[in-house]
Structure 1
Amino acid sequence: MKLTARLTAGLLAAALSTGAFAAEHIVKMKNSGADGAMVFEPGYLEAEKGDTVKFVLVDPAHNSVSVAVPEGTESWAGEMNKEITVTLGAEGVYVYKCTPHAPLNMAGVIKVGEPVNYDQAKAAVEKLTASAATNKERLTGYFSNVK
């Protein structure tokens, strides 16, 4: 009887702890990085549903604001000079930008599972890129990783 109770308790604990395996990813908001001026590092990220992304302020005057998110999850709008943590609640492609540095194409892409909103995300990337004054190839390069 004791063995059955322990086994049941162990299985229950394992089932309840699956959320404990969600990863936290760090994306740095920087004035300068490997991909040039005004960047998120990394600019492209692959994650799993339920993971979180913490946007960390390295240099001042940045934020993170979603531009396209999959259906069934919430958009976000981080405050200027503040870190923000976002939970990736659905499969798909997330596109985000830094509001004051969008003209410099300071933007990024997160892919979670299947890219179910590929066309929506591609349109967002094209719009951001068309309105950018510089670094036009940066965001399209990140998006080219979405398969």
Structure 2
Amino acid sequence: MLRTVVSGLALAAMLGGAALAETFEVQMLNKGADGGRMVFEPAFIHAQPGDTIKFIAANKGHNAELNKGMMPAGAEGFKGKINEEIEVTLDAEGIYGVICKPHFAMGMVMTIAVGDAEVPENFFEGRVPQKAKERFEAQLANLATN
């Protein structure tokens, strides 16, 4: 009997950590609620390690992928296919820059901050179109308020 109780408590403890993880849904849209074109909604998420982000292809022609160089050290990249949903679980703390490859130059980007994240100095190294950079900077301003 004691063995059954102890086993049950151990199982509950293991599952309890998984139950605390959150799933965020992100819509990939041609037009956002505020009238912006080619957007992820929401454009900024503050998540915790182990949380899942589900990208939903609400409109055709979009994907979600990590931009090269815009992820924490040790994080695994991801690249969704056009018109398909993708679910990713983020375990490494830091800042993730997500883009829609076909609409990157039009500024279709989003930022995910995982844990106690700070923007790395080299976040904007490499090719980042002006519209995308402006949107990333606006999204990163959310770190000060979260």
TM category (shorter chain) comes to: 0.7 to 0.9
Range 10-19 or range 66-75, more displaced: 10-19
Larger proportion of helix: 1
RMSD: 2.1
8 A contact 2:55–2:64 mirrored in 1: yes
Counterpart for residue 137 of structure 1: 134
Counterpart for residue 42 of structure 1: 42
State the TM-score, normalizing by the size of structure 2: 0.84
Which runs of 5 or more structure 2 residues have no equivalent in the other structure? none
Q: CA-to-partner distance for each residue in 1:82-134, whole Å, 9 max, x for gaps?
A: 1111110211111111111111110000001121562243x25x952xx23x4
Identity of aligned residues (%): 36
SS of the counterpart of 2:73? coil
How many residue pairs were aligned?
140
**4+ residue runs of structure 1 moved beyond 4 angstroms?**
none
SS of the counterpart of 1:13? helix
Which runs of 5 or more structure 1 residues have no equivalent in the other structure? none
Work out which of the residue numbers 98, 101, 105 in structure 1 matches 2:100: 98
**Quick one: distance in 2 between partners of 1:77 and 1:56?**
14
Which amino acid in structure 1 is aligned with residue 142 of structure 2? N
SS of the counterpart of 1:109? strand
Range 7-16 or range 105-114, more displaced: 7-16
Work out which of the residue numbers 12, 15, 23 in structure 1 matches 2:13: 15
SS of the counterpart of 2:105? helix
Q: CA-to-partner distance for each residue in 1:6-34, whole Å, 9 max, x for gaps?
A: 54234302321112321111010000003
State the TM-score, normalizing by the size of structure 1: 0.84
